[in-house]
Structure 1
């Protein structure tokens, strides 16, 4: 069985699930999902700049509405459960947890704990962080010791 650690920031869409569950053909996969709610991530300014870079000015203006704190935690728990259930319906194994501390420290620990074969980072585009190689995938490549695949989510945040 192939073991993948899947790092996400919101609930997986059906397209996301199909994409990650078909990467290894018919080989069964065990997914270990880490979700850090968006409100717990980088500050609003970076998110707004990403929105502007994508041409989504309306989204940039609404960044102040992004839930943070306990509300983000609650939404994160729901998004994680939806994602785990969607992965399980494909016949793959899936377990997960919310990331409350530094996401890369949590990622490194889980990769070692489950002896992962790979890491898949599935997020919305974060152009500023990606340009400076400060996004999760770029930083994980130097930290986890297994291949890291960067994919973009199939839905808007």
Structure 2
């Protein structure tokens, strides 16, 4: 019987993310359950500090000039990110399913981990200087709330958070 690994990602997984995740679990019979939050709100000041700390000026401009999406738009974007992620996982030979969840993904993550009797959690995000430093990122919050191993990957890289 296969074990379930929950993958929480803030955006569509990239080829490098999928390759890294699938390779990590290659020796085990794993089924992935992907969760993508519908990002309906973000703290612009918080994002600006993160962007400045990482010297990401392109993202800084985007965070300043793009307003928060409305609920419908956020859900549509999350559904597309989920579809692309599931397509990449399937193309790699992995078994995966998923769902769009609320903006704060921790309650849905806890529910999914319990409902699927997950063995581990993989969180895929961009680096977030403030959250990562003060352990308020999704991976740290999940570690505090769950009794499961949590792997934090930075999207598009081989860096583990």
Q: Which segment drifts farther, 68-77 or 137-146? A: 68-77
2:124 to 122, 125, 130: 122
- Give the 3-state SS of the residue equivalent to 1:35 in structure 2: strand
- Partners of 2:93 and 2:113 lie apart in 1 by 22
Q: Which residue in the other structure is 1:33 paired with?
A: 34
Residues 53, 131 of structure 1: CA spacing in aligned structure 2 closer, same or farther, 3 A cutoff? same
Conserved 8 A contact 1:17-1:86: yes
TM-score (norm 2): 0.88
Q: Which residue in the other structure is 2:7 paired with?
A: 6
Q: Which residue in the other structure is 2:141 paired with?
A: 139
Conserved 8 A contact 1:28-1:92: no
Question: How far did residue 66 of structure 1 move?
Answer: 5.5
Conserved 8 A contact 2:41-2:69: no
Residues 22, 2 of structure 1: CA spacing in aligned structure 2 closer, same or farther, 3 A cutoff? farther
Question: How far did residue 75 of structure 1 move?
Answer: 1.1
Residues 108, 150 of structure 1: CA spacing in aligned structure 2 closer, same or farther, 3 A cutoff? same
Number of aligned positions between the proteins: 154
Question: How far did residue 67 of structure 1 move?
Answer: 4.9
| Runs of 4+ residues over 3 Å off in structure 1 | none
Is residue 2:78 matched to residue 1:79?
no
- Partners of 2:67 and 2:4 lie apart in 1 by 32
- Partners of 1:135 and 1:89 lie apart in 2 by 29
Conserved 8 A contact 2:37-2:104: no
Query: Which deviations, in whole Å up to 9, do the C-alpha atoms of 1:31-85 show, x marking residues without a partner?
Result: 0001114x43531221221111111123212213155122222111111001011
TM-score (norm 1): 0.90
